[in-house]
Amino acid sequence: MHTSTTHQVSHDTRRGLGFRMATAAVCAGTFAGLSGLVAPAANAEHPVGGRIELEYFEAAEANGQPPGEFFGPATTPELDAARGGRWQDFENDQAIYWHPLVSDGYANQVGGGIRAKWGETTGPEGGWELGPLAYPTTREWSSQESGSSDKVARGNHFEGGTVYAVPDSGEYVVWGLIRTAWWALGGEESALGLPTGDEREADPGWIQDFEGGAIQVFPDGMVAVTTTTPEASTLATDGPVALDELG
């Protein structure tokens, strides 16, 4: 359990994204009026500076690569983000986001399938930092081995939850009381293992599937755990219980 600290989307579900793309295009000299956006020239160069530059070097080092290999060149200048933040996009399906009140003012890398899932997790204002997950609070990290399958996922924590990229499965959001309950049981290191789907509505409450079972939460804050493997059977509850009764 980790508790420390190019996407394609439909324009009709991403309020705010269009503004950011247009801003990037204007700044890069690529806006072509009503005819749409034109890609920047291949030799265009955008400086990387400040807290974003710090993460540019540190995230690449943490992944054992030079920054130019891990991120690729910047494809936009540094741009405005929600609530007074800043962000910058890079060629290798990577971005860095910064907000002065998030992560003690440190910027965080997010990329690949995790970044795409973040963007798809939308609220009334759209996705990415405008959505319910809000800003990333860590760069991408590796999970512990699953107690069910031995898989190692990749993930990013966000202000509103966590996105896990599970090998041979997909990217899933774990948040709220379900995440709290799952972590109380040992997270991915428990026999429940890693998530196999997103949270969905149940009758009543909400439920999420994991490799070794499922966690259901109820409107009154109670939690129920069902299991599907012998190894996880000791985690099962006899109906809804209080959170502090888990385990």
* CB burial string 15-52: b at 16+ within 10 A, e below: ebbeebbeebbeebebbeeeeeeeebeeeeebebeebb
* Gap between the Cα atoms of 207 and 190, Å rounded: 18
* Gap between the Cα atoms of 88 and 90, Å rounded: 7
For residue 70, list its beta bridge partners.
none
Give me the pLDDT at residue 118, please: 97
Say what the alpha-carbon torsion angle 93, 98, 99, 100 is, to the nearest 10 degrees. 170
Q: Residues in the chain with pLDDT < 70?
A: 1-44
For the chain, the average pLDDT equals 86
Closest CA to 134 of 87, 193, 73, 68: 87
Give me the pLDDT at residue 1, please: 66
> pTM for this structure?
0.84
Give me the pLDDT at residue 92, please: 96
* Gap between the Cα atoms of 149 and 193, Å rounded: 7
Give me the pLDDT at residue 14, please: 29
What confidence tens digit (pLDDT) does each residue in 59-90 have?
Answer: 999 999 999 999 999 999 999 999 999 999 99
Pairing of strands 85-90, 79-81: antiparallel
Give me the pLDDT at residue 42, please: 42
Task: Tell me how far apart the 2 most distant CA atoms of the chain are, in Å.
Answer: 63
